Amino acid sequence: NAGVTQTPKFQVLKTGQSMTLQCAQDMNHEYMSWYRQDPGMGLRLIHYSVGAGITDQGEVPNGYNVSRSTTEDFPLRLLSAAPSQTSVYFCASSYRPPWDSLPRNEQYFGPGTRLTVT
Amino acid sequence: GQQVMQIPQYQHVQEGEDFTTYCNSSTTLSNIQWYKQRPGGHPVFLIQLVKSGEVKKQKRLTFQFGEAKKNSSLHITATQTTDVGTYFCAGGNDYKLSFGAGTTVTVRA
């Protein structure tokens, strides 16, 4: 199993450009999520999905779109990049939602995408 | 809304010493998870606690969940250089999992 894969590893954008960060998992996990990580602020949830065709907003969704057409893929779209979106982005997946206390709710994280917006 | 506070933000430890990092929530949690992120890496799941007063051990790491399910701690004994990294707690409740800001640990050999 490859686990959770993310592409690209690094990206530089100019303000106003759009792009899609790719995320895929091969563990048949229903729950997938996108986080951004900024110094001193931990991991903040952008969007999440509890299954194919279902997405919802996290705590910092503005400027980002997601879709979940298959169980495996969960791309994150930046609509019009801004310098405030400079960050490290992590995709994660789990069999069950992480707030569910039952087993198999641990999240597996991808290697991350380091995005710089100039 | 739910907030999870983690202290200290930084911990500088002499190799061989013990230390503890603490996690506090403003609301009662259904579960708490701990993750470790090595420098330049991604978060990796360590453990989950779900019961009031629960204590779990992984070798030199001891995790506790408070009686009121509003706080948790991670205690590391005899710190080694392999313990370097950032430790995050994440509290679950009300269909959300909120991460603390993390404790970044450096070790002096």
Q: What is the pLDDT of residues B81-101, one digit of tens each?
A: 999 999 999 999 988 999 999
Please answer yes or no on whether B42 and A41 come within 8 Å at the CB atom.
no
| pLDDT reported for residue A98 | 95
| pLDDT reported for residue B84 | 98
Task: Please state the separation of Cα B92 from the chain's center in Å.
Answer: 14
| pLDDT reported for residue B1 | 54
Alpha helices in chain A (DSSP H): none
How far is the C-alpha of B11 from the C-alpha of B71, rounded, in Å? 19
Please answer yes or no on whether A109 and B48 come within 8 Å at the CB atom.
no
From the list A99, A107, A111, the residue facing B30 with the nearest CB is: A99
* Cβ(A63)–Cβ(A80) below 8 Å: yes
Query: In the structure encoding, which two tokens stand for residue A12, read together?
Result: 């530089």
| pLDDT reported for residue A66 | 98
Counting as low any pLDDT under 70, the low residues of chain B are: 1-2
Q: Which of B107, B102, B106 is nearest to B8 (CA)?
A: B102
